[in-house]
């Protein structure tokens, strides 16, 4: 079953090497050493040696660098390792750049958030009903390009301007009346990139570079929507295969993500970006600094600590997680070039906990092989309802060599066993819990603790 969950913007560190049977996910964050870097290395080892992370981890605490290291391969075919300064695509973290650019234009008095988009772009689809604020807040009702049946073909084409992408939804009806509900949709931020171009008179990437990146000294960051341009030190994306393997990710022309997921950056530059949003090197006015956090970052409370975070996953081969604790002056950046969602966030949270003197939360990963008869009892086809990301999607679970795999997707996905009897669906790092009736017969499974799939067929 293929998962392309574009809203998981949504993760980590993995040694990208080989597809042979290797170590399972094991490890202990308690290294017996009080040095934070040593503890972090011990914590990361379980992801790296099990081939579930490749990328960079950087942590800055009180202005001091605690760790800044690369893990795995920037290019597994050529044997090029990831370095601390390697560049990555950062998925939906890009939205914070687009939101900041719009708010900077508001600061300069050339647009208003509550004005209709049609005031600035006369022929924008439904522009008389959609406000700039609706786009920023994912409340526009625009059609979702990423749900189109032919999206795979759309994503391989090149688009010279965001206008060309907006044109693909111009004839579509709105999904709902603007402002009436929330629906995460990359098209909102592609539309904002178009708005930035029309209001500023310069291309989106040029405006972001000149007005945001240069003032913050972010020399390693750029808009990467033009795939014909060489990007030095860019880590290549990889897909997980089975339980421990990997391969090159499918081709996508990143112009399809203009404004929503097209930024290329380094871990070091993203620390500077945090400073530019909430730190001492701010480029936005006071109201805009508040608004950019509302629109493009999340704010939460973690055991009494204020936390600001942004995350991204492009569903192709890159993920990113940036977490900042303002009162502790702690910033952690995790960049990954392996197409596994959410593991970057797990790593970012674990690294943060270690630096703050806490024990990191880790999945109860179990290294013991499972009995073949137990695995065979779980094998079968499981069908989800219409509320799933892929309505009616099917997991085709087979038992092979003491392990479980979903062979209904390309490439096949491993189900990693956990000590509590559940499994991790490797491509999206999601817990799977098999369900049974009163007689112990397996009747279905629960995915993400949210979606239920009924067992449709036994082998």
Q: Are 28 and 362 in contact (CB under 8 A)?
A: no
* CATH-assigned architecture of domain 36-90+221-355: 3-Layer(aba) Sandwich (3.40)
Helix, strand, coil: what percent of the chain each, to 5?
A: 30, 25, 45
Pairwise CA distance, residues 52 & 14, whole Å: 4
Pairwise CA distance, residues 36 & 69, whole Å: 14
| CATH fourth-level superfamily of 94-205 | DD-peptidase/beta-lactamase superfamily (3.40.710.10)
- pLDDT at 236 exceeding the cut of 90: yes
What mean pLDDT comes out for the span 373-396? 92
Evaluate whether 36-90+221-355 and 94-205 have a shared fold: yes
What tens digit of pLDDT does each residue of 241-282 get? 999 999 999 999 999 999 999 999 999 999 999 999 887 788
All structural domains of the chain with their residue ranges: 36-90+221-355, 94-205, 372-457
Mode of pairing for the β-strands spanning 330-336 and 442-447: unpaired
| pLDDT, mean over the chain | 90
- pLDDT at 144 exceeding the cut of 90: yes
State residue 29's pLDDT score.
55
Query: Angle, nearest 10°, between helix axes 267-278 and 286-296?
Result: 130
- pLDDT at 146 exceeding the cut of 90: no
What tens digit of pLDDT does each residue of 389-440 get? 888 999 999 999 889 999 999 899 999 999 888 999 999 999 999 999 999 8
Pairwise CA distance, residues 137 & 135, whole Å: 5
State residue 28's pLDDT score.
53
State residue 458's pLDDT score.
66
pTM here is 0.90
Phi, psi of 395 (to 5 degrees): -100, 125
Nearest to 456 by CA among 410, 403, 394, 368: 394
- pLDDT at 18 exceeding the cut of 50: no
Q: Are 84 and 70 in contact (CB under 8 A)?
A: yes
What is the dotted CATH code of the domain comprising 372-457?
2.40.128
Place of tokens 């719009």: 102
Buried b (16+ CB within 10 A) or exposed e, 400-415: eeebbbbebbebbbbb
Q: Are 299 and 311 in contact (CB under 8 A)?
A: no
Q: Are 384 and 50 in contact (CB under 8 A)?
A: no
Place of tokens 């930024």: 263
């Amino acid at each position: 079953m293929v998962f392309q969950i574009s809203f998981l913007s949504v993760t980590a560190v993995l040694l990208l090497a080989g597809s042979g049977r290797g170590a399972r996910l094991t490890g202990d964050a308690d290294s017996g050493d009080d040095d934070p870097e040593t503890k972090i290395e011990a914590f990361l080892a379980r992801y790296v040696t099990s081939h579930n992370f490749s990328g960079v981890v950087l942590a800055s605490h009180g202005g001091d660098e605690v760790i800044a290291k690369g893990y795995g391969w920037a290019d597994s075919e050529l044997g090029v390792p990831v370095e601390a300064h390697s560049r990555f695509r950062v998925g939906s973290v890009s939205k914070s750049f687009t939101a900041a650019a719009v708010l900077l234009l508001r600061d300069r008095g050339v647009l208003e958030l509550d004005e209709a988009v049609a005031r600035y772009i006369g022929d924008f689809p439904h522009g008389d009903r959609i406000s700039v604020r609706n786009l920023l807040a994912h409340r526009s009702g625009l059609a979702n390009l990423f749900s189109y049946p032919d999206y795979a073909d759309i994503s391989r084409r090149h688009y010279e301007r965001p206008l060309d992408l907006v044109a693909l939804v111009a004839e579509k009806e709105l999904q709902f009346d603007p402002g009436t509900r929330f629906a995460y949709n990359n098209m909102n931020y592609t539309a904002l990139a178009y708005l930035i171009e029309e209001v500023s008179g310069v291309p989106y990437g040029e405006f972001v570079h000149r007005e945001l990146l240069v003032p913050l000294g972010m020399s390693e960051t750029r808009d990467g929507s033009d795939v014909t341009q060489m990007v030095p030190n860019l880590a290549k994306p990889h897909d997980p295969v089975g339980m421990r393997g990997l391969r090159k990710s499918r081709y996508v022309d990143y112009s399809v993500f203009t404004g929503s997921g097209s930024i290329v950056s380094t871990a070091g530059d993203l620390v500077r970006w945090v400073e530019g949003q909430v730190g001492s090197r701010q480029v936005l006015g006071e109201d805009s600094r508040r608004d950019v956090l509302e629109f493009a970052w999340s704010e939460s409370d973690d055991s009494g600590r204020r936390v600001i975070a942004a995350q991204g996953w492009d569903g192709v081969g890159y993920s990113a997680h940036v977490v900042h604790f303002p009162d502790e002056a702690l910033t952690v950046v995790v960049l990954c070039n392996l197409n596994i969602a959410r593991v970057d966030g797990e790593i970012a949270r674990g690294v943060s906990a270690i630096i703050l003197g806490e024990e990191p939360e880790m999945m109860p990963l179990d290294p013991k092989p499972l009995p073949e008869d137990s695995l065979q009892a779980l094998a079968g086809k499981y069908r989800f309802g219409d509320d799933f990301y892929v309505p009616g999607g099917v997991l085709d679970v087979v038992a092979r060599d003491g392990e479980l795999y979903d062979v209904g997707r390309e490439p096949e996905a491993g189900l990693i066993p956990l000590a509590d009897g559940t499994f991790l669906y490797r491509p999206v790092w999601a817990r799977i819990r098999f369900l049974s009736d009163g007689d112990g017969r397996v009747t279905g499974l629960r995915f993400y603790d949210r979606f239920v799939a009924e067992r449709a067929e036994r082998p």
